[in-house]
Amino acid sequence: MTSTTTTPELTSRPAELPELLTHYIGGERVPSLGGETFPVLDPVTNEPYTVCAAGQAADIDRAVEAARRAFTEGPWPKLKPRERSRILYRIAEGIEAADERLAELEAYDTGLPITQARGQAHRAAENFRFFADVIVSGTEEAFQVGEEQYNHVIRKPIGVAGLITPWNTPFMLESWKLAPALASGCTLVLKPAEWSPLSASLLPEIMEKAGVPAGVFNIVHGIGEEAGAALVDHPQVPLISFTGETTTGRIIAENSAKHLKTLSMELGGKSPCVVFADADLDAAVDAAVFQIFSLNGERCTAGSRLLVERPVYDEVVAQVAERARNVRIGLPGDPRTELGALIHPEHYARVREYVEIGSAEGARLVAGGTRPEGLPEGNFLNATVFADVKPAHRIFQEEIFGPVLCITPFDTDEEAVELANDTAYGLAAYIWTNNLDRANTLSREIESGMLWINSQNVRDLRTPFGGVKASGIGREGGRHSIDFYTESHIVHVALRTLPVPRFGAGPAE
């Protein structure tokens, strides 16, 4: 049975929550010009706990103007890399100093278990330190053509970056974009997700204390169809980095086309976890359970499809189902909780609908699918596992983005690849086998932007992050992020006087 113990202190709201989450534009905390707001809900009760400024096109205009002025008139893009690096290090220190407050706000706002929210500050700080190092250690390409010409590449920040971030692990995912954008010399406008805007309220003070000039960093809160759409459509924003679901990504791509904006989009996923009979099954089951039920299953790289070789299929199904039935469901603030509350009632209803769809399609429900006992309110769902899921089932094909695992058997390596690739998505994949020849072969045949062999999702900041097919466009991470936020300016220098054809110098012979 799952734990449903609650205590008053674990359900109480954090102290000193803001009554209004404001925008941050040009170094000032400001409401929307028209006074528009929207309520922000506590996932445990679905009751509003504050209101947030709802940015409109006029607020985006104001933020872009501030960012554009800071880019063209301010010192930020012209600072030496070492000077920007020092500021990024101070940002990292400010984030770590706010570790406990950040975890408290993140868990309360998103429903994530507090033990998992606590890791986000460290990861966010490491993002800033990493890119602080990248910009002082990076070198640019240079080419010499004999003794005639020397060619070199200069990196220039593109300008005002538009950053649109998701509601799952919001602070850490914001840092993935903020750190390289600032390191590259861009100024920016951040549009946080409307379902989880709270932790972003810590950023203005952190940026100010670190020495980020006014106007370099701006926040406009709001609904995606309003503030987000205005940011995408703004002609003075040449670059959009978006993380979110695929349908929204397609709309952004369409709306950006008229301005020929540079886009990086990390979108949805339906990632396969392929387990062969020769694998270390204990480790594979640990990874499979962790990958789908950590972070409430609300993660793009979750191994939401578990593909198992038939000789060990029944054994793996039984082990995973037993583990799922013992996942501890509880309040986000309880350090014993392993699976908290889903973020929003709309999302909760969507996940519950997929549970109903899976049962109606004939998949075998072996764990979960119900509300935990003792938690009558809020967005709680027991860890859910379906077995005997067929490729034609919607729960096999469509992203659920919740604590719902689909298990499917396979008989051959070829069938494993076919099943792994049989969705519109291609973000991440996981292979468990002790046959390295097989692992290396399948790693090239499975369609995914990222793949792990005998490992859960362990992130290396130096590597490119992104997907193929409906999972995204472009890559960020490491030097790839610097490539995205900068333009390559190529300078060709003649080393001696070169002969030039003299058109029009005389009559033709």
Query: Mind telling me the catalytic residues?
Result: 266, 300
Three-state DSSP class for residue 268: coil
Q: Which residue reads 């509880």 in tokens?
A: 330
CA pair distance 337, 47, nearest whole angstrom:
21
Burial of 497 (0-12, 13-18, 19+ CB in 10 A): exposed
Nearest to 272 by CA among 478, 473, 467, 477: 467
- The strand pair at 217-219 and 239-243 is best described as unpaired
CA pair distance 280, 66, nearest whole angstrom:
55
* 30-48 burial: b if 16+ Cβ within 10 Å, else e: ebbeeebbbebbbbbeeee
Structure tokens at 429: 């994949």
Nearest to 317 by CA among 294, 284, 290: 284
Give the Cβ contact number of residue 503 at 10 Å. 6
Torsions phi, psi for 163 (to 5 deg): -115, 120
Write the single-letter amino acid at 267: L
Provide the CA 69 distance to its chain's centre, in angstroms. 29
